[in-house]
Amino acid sequence: MSSYQHLKPNSPRFSSEVVKSAKDHLKKNPYPDIRNVSCNCDRGVLVLRGNVSSYHHKQVAQEAVFGLDGVTRILNEIEVRGSGDQRSST
């Protein structure tokens, strides 16, 4: 049981503790672009934002925070901007 489980899910302290835990998990990831993903939490909904180089990294970021105490839902708003995403201007 985490140290913030006694807090109400709609309290700012609860949200900040969930975000801290999520960031800790993301920072431990071996992929540099995943370590730069940002997150917010509101009433147990964790929102991931940022840019990664592949869809695989987007999924890995989501899996890194899956199952965290206090997270009831994950919104993955990470954008994939890899080298293969360059569009021709013709």
- pLDDT tens, position by position, for the chain (90 residues)? 455 555 555 566 678 899 999 999 999 999 999 999 999 998 889 999 999 999 999 999 999 999 998 899 999 999 999 755 444 444
State pTM to two decimals.
Answer: 0.79
Rounded distance, CA 11 to CA 90, Å? 51
Surface-to-core class of residue 74, CB atoms within 10 Å of its CB (0-12 exposed, 13-18 middle, 19+ buried): buried
Domain boundaries, the chain: 12-82
DSSP letter for each residue of 17-78: HHHHHHHHHHHT-SSHHHHT-EEEEETTEEEEEEEESSHHHHHHHHHHHTT-TT--EEEEEE
What is the predicted pLDDT for the residue at 88? 40
Of the options 3.30.1340.30, 2.30.30.180, 2.60.40.10, 3.40.50.720, the CATH number for the domain spanning 12-82 = 3.30.1340.30
What is the predicted pLDDT for the residue at 2? 53
